[in-house]
Structure 1
């Protein structure tokens, strides 16, 4: 082979290598972005949960004003907690149940909103209660005494009255 042929082949190999490496970097980039986004979402969820836990024991009051932290009802609690982190939620649990994207119970992540049909206004399908999934089968919510609390969603009452979940983070 002549020197010119070798130079030509080396140039082709160099160009092909550059394209291949560029493609690998381009393919790997969305994966890295997804991991960064997932980490940021988890971090935000943990901050929201920790802020929510600061209200443990605050009394329950149906129809509580959103301008106070002396007492909460379920939806005013969620509106307060998420609002501190830039997530705007409507006032009622029924309206909150229309925000974000649907998520199955099997795929819950920290920070997901959980919706139930419970209490005297319940039909079994309508939304009357909201809580925040905090992991390990538990939710942060307020419902009667002792006020803001952590409850396992797999206990009979909550398992029976569960309707759906929405991801707003």
Structure 2
């Protein structure tokens, strides 16, 4: 198997694992499908279940893992960060491609896919990190 095939498959595993969780309810501090997930536990669970990668628990801690990348370099599987609580790196999601990402947004909501071109997300974008190495 070539490196390209291997990393493409790793990325697919991450994306498919995340998409399985679409519809799971949001719960601040939640860390299970049954009780609900918050943004960082969603990301943490997806990476652990799909590729066995252990990420830190909070969005702020996750913003320190992997390689920092520019928005113009985004690839599926990259982590995207937003300032949603008047502090940097307070929200995290997983980039899907075509300016879409999946995340656990807020109380009263559920894991879903959204467009980063939406003005709300555009104005709050903080940066991105690559966890899955060169693909």
| Length-normalised TM-score, structure 2 | 0.90
Give the Cα–Cα distance (whole angstroms) in 2 for the partners of residues 38 and 97 of structure 1. 26
Partner of 1:38: 4
Could you say which structure has the larger radius of gyration? 1
Q: How far is the alpha carbon of 1:107 from its aligned partner? A: 0.8
Give the Cα–Cα distance (whole angstroms) in 2 for the partners of residues 58 and 161 of structure 1. 24
List, as ranges, runs of 4+ consecutive aligned residues in structure 1 with deviation greater than 6 Å: none
Q: How far is the alpha carbon of 1:60 from its aligned partner? A: 0.4
Partner of 1:146: 109
Structure 1 residue ranges without an equivalent (≥5): 1-32
Structure 2 residue ranges without an equivalent (≥5): none
Greater helix share, structure number: 1
Greater strand share, structure number: 2
Residues 93-152 of structure 1 show CA distances to partners (whole Å, capped at 9, x for unaligned) of 00000000011101111100001111xx313xx110000001111001011243100001
Partner of 2:86: 122
Structure with the bigger RCO (C-alpha within 8 Å, sep 6+) is: 2
Partner of 2:123: 160
Pick the aligned partner of 2:59 from 93, 116, 119: 93
In the alignment of these two chains, the number of paired residues is 129
Q: How well do the aligned residues superpose, as a CA RMSD in angstroms?
A: 1.4
